[in-house]
Amino acid sequence: MSSDIKTIHPLDKIEKAADAMKTHKIKQLSVVVNDEMRGIITVTDISRASPEMVNRLMGSGLNLGTD
């Protein structure tokens, strides 16, 4: 398990999540409120919610296949 877990707040925009995934070359982010994990958002979640965001993620070198 990684000690450098990347997180996002539930009210952050989907673009922020996509940019964080691209920057850190990761496929998922923990959704955290007040240091408590509330869920996980994945590349697949983003592509389903906003198909146009796939282009933003594709430049990251991530394999966007199914999780």
Domain boundaries in the chain?
7-58
User: What integer pLDDT is reported at residue 53 of this predicted model?
Assistant: 81
Q: CA-based diameter of the chain, in Å?
A: 32
User: What integer pLDDT is reported at residue 23 of this predicted model?
Assistant: 92
Per-residue pLDDT of the chain (67 residues; tens, 9 = 90+): 556 899 999 999 999 999 999 999 999 999 999 999 999 999 999 989 888 887 777 765 556 554 4
Q: pTM for the whole thing? A: 0.76
User: What integer pLDDT is reported at residue 38 of this predicted model?
Assistant: 97
- Whether the Cβ atoms of residue 25 and residue 7 lie closer than 8 Å to each other: no
For the structural domain made of 7-58, what CATH number should be given? 3.90.1280.20
Q: Considering only CA atoms, which of 27, 29, 22 is closest in space to residue 4? A: 29
